[in-house]
Amino acid sequence: MPRPGAERRAELGLLLGVALLLALTLGACSAILESPPVPNPEAFPGIAGQLGRFGIDVQTWTSGDSGCDDPSLNPTAIRFTAQGLDQPTPLTLRIYIFRNRDTWDRRLADVDTCAGKWTTDPASFEIVQTSPYVVAGQGPWPPAFADAIHKALTASAGNGG
């Protein structure tokens, strides 16, 4: 027959075990409630994937084509063709991808100047600016296509650099 002290130690051990299990469970739950960190901006393959997720098919792309004679913009630029949703034929677009928000802020005017050199109709030219990206192309873009570009860029931008 167990002694009363042994029963007391067994009860205390059981209570400590339950308390430890409860603490671990609550700790795990609080980890679930914490938001994950905002991701860094994506490179072009990730952006193309986001465009696809929102219904735009990126068909071809060429790195280093800013569309103008500004050699400092060429490393940031990718010319690509895309179509989808309410845009039935491929459009040529350019994306300028900057290292961070400061560079994006500093270079927006340069992108505007460059784009002005390759646009065929400034009145219908379209541009979407979401740090650290700028997407530009001849328009007008149909509403669903334009909305999908905006959503894809926002999703790709993460913390904006």
pLDDT tens for each residue of 97-125: 999 999 999 999 999 999 999 999 999 99
User: What mean pLDDT do residues 19-30 have?
Assistant: 58
pLDDT at 128: 95
Question: What's the order of all strands across the beta sheet hosting 57-63?
Answer: 57-63, 77-84, 87-97, 133-137, 126-130
CATH T-level fold of 44-157? Phosphorylase Kinase; domain 1 (3.30.200)
pLDDT at 22: 59
Residues 121-159 have pLDDT tens digits of 999 999 999 999 999 999 999 999 999 999 999 999 988
Pair 140, 124: CB distance under 8 Å:
yes
Q: For residue 29, is pLDDT > 60?
A: no
> Is the overall model pTM greater than 0.85, yes or no?
no
